[in-house]
Structure formats: C-alpha cells, structure tokens
Structure 1
Amino acid sequence: MNWQWRSFAELKNNELYEMLALRQQVFMLEQKCFYNDLDYLDQDAMHLLGRNNDKLIAYLRLLPLHVPYLNAVSMGRVVTDKTVRGQGVSKKMLQQAFLFLEKNNNTAPIIISAQFYLKKFYESFGFLVSGEPYDEDGILHIKMIRNEKRS
C-alpha cells in the first residue's frame, strides 16, 4: 500500500480524474447519493491517495482550519474501492490522516459528517457524537468531533 499526500495544485491530471472517479463510483453510483461533489472545497484541501499496484483504492480529503468549521479542521470524502473493503484499508487511511495532522502540529478538533452506520467505526478513533442524526442527501449522517488538543 502506497500513501501520498497532495495539495490540489500538486495533483496530476490523472490523479484528479481517478480521485473524482472513485468518489463518483462509491457515493453516487453505489450509494445512489446524488449531490454536488464538486463543491469548490477541493482546492483548499489536502488529498490523501492510497494506491495498491498503481490503482487508486482509497481516498480522503482534509480541509484546513476554519473550512468549513470555525476553529476546527474537517475530514471528508472518505472512500475505499469495493474490492478492498473489510481489509482494514480505511483504518490505515485514518491513521495516515492523524499522522499528517500530528506532523503539521495540528491541535484543532477534527469535525466530520459521518454516515450514521459508521458511527462505531469513527468512535474507535476517538470521535464523539455531537448532536442528533440528520439526513444529508438522502443518507442518515451524524456530526462527530475528535479533540486533538494534547496536554
């Protein structure tokens, strides 16, 4: 498994295409969730690309402090190819994200809008529920926060 971080400007055309194709395949086609994926937040994000044998199989984007949440960073578009689900790839991807934040001295909370069925998965990484479940684009979600402040 090969992990690479890229800013939007560093993404090569083929990487951008693969990233958008994976997001479309999972969120729109598999989950039948039709939403505005091209939300103009990718330009400010750091993108984590997970490859196996040169194939993009995992992806997430990390939004900087204050985008879109005040005094927090945000992680989203967490996605894996269906061929690798259940093999721990998502866990490894989140660990990569936490390492990246640690190396960049992030002490701000991380806020996510998690699909509700993944609540326990995110709780295993220290995320706590914040508020009630809500419908987002036809799928039940829950706001979760992970406090990164260290004593």
Structure 2
Amino acid sequence: MWQFKQFEELSAKDYHQIAKERTKVFVVEQGSAYQEIDDIDLHAVHVIKRQKGVIKAYARVYKENKKMHLGRVLVPAEFRSEGHGRELLKVALDYIICKHPKAEIEIQAEAYLKEFYESFGFKVTSDLYYDEEIGHYDMELSKEQTTVSP
C-alpha cells in the first residue's frame, strides 16, 4: 500500500522504520559514514510502500529553490528486482506532477542508475562527481516533460 505522509503525520514507529531502512541502504550497505538524517525530513513528503508492515520502497519529495526534488530513493536489497523501484518512481512522479504541475524535478542519481532515471525522461545536468566515494550525476526532468506522466 502506498502512503504519502508529511513529517507530522509519521508515527514514531513509521519514522523509525524509515530511518532504519535509509541507514541500512545509504550508510551500511554503501559503506558511507555521513549524516543520513537531516532537516529536509521535516518538510518533505515521505512516499512509502508497505506490505504486511514492511517497507518495500521509499523516497522523499520536497521543494527547494523553486524546484521539486526526489531523494533518498530506495528499495531494500531483499526486495530488489521485484519492480518496486520502477513503481516507486512512477508513483512519486505522478504525485509531484499532480501537486506541482509543470515543476522541474531534480534528483542526485547514483551513476549506476543513470539509465534507469533516463527511462523516465530525466536528463543529465552535471559531469560525473563523487559524493561519499560514490559516483553521481545531477539529473532533471524538465517542465515540458512533467506535463505527461512517464
């Protein structure tokens, strides 16, 4: 089941589950020691797919500098290759397009997922760079591309 929750709508248990999954993927799995929990959580919409109480996919959506951002996109390792990532992107983009028509959407994509995001219409807007020793590209879905859902 898909949920869209503001920070204030998350229970302590909800936020604990989210923080646990994000830390598992972005800190432990990727071997990156950084401040994973940040103040963006306070004003983001948390997009969560749960089945039987277990998070299968997650992302957060927020507005910054007049653009919409999609971040902390994850599917726990044990649920990858089940289509949750593609479904998550479609659901998150549909949400953004519905709430913020014609907004530009930005994402910091890990380099190995570049083609995945391109399949949704994202275009690379930066050279390859490294954040916590992981290759990334800044990518954008333009206003013209957000008028029709991918």
Alignment map for 1:30-41 (pairs within 5 Å)? 30-41=29-40
For 1:92, which of 79, 84, 87 is the aligned residue? Answer: 87
Alignment map for 1:60-75 (pairs within 5 Å)? 60-64=59-63, 67=64, 70-75=65-70
For structure 2, the residue ranges without an aligned partner over 5 or more in a row are: none
Higher helix share: 2
Tell me the equivalent position of 1:21: 20
Distance 1:6 1:105 in 2: 16
Tell me the equivalent position of 2:97: 102
TM-score relative to the length of structure 1: 0.92
Tell me the equivalent position of 1:142: 137
TM-score relative to the length of structure 2: 0.92
Q: Which runs of 4+ in 1 moved over 3 A?
A: 148-151
Aligned residue pairs total 146
Distance 2:130 2:117 in 1: 18
Tell me the equivalent position of 1:80: 75
Amino acid at match of 1:96: V
Amino acid at match of 1:111: E
1:105, distance to aligned residue in structure 2 (A): 3.7
Secondary structure, counterpart of 1:9 in structure 2: helix
Distance 2:105 2:116 in 1: 15
Distance 2:134 2:35 in 1: 14
1:28, distance to aligned residue in structure 2 (A): 0.8
Distance 1:109 1:93 in 2: 18
- Taking only aligned residues, the RMSD between alpha carbons, in angstroms, comes to 1.3
Tell me the equivalent position of 2:115: 120
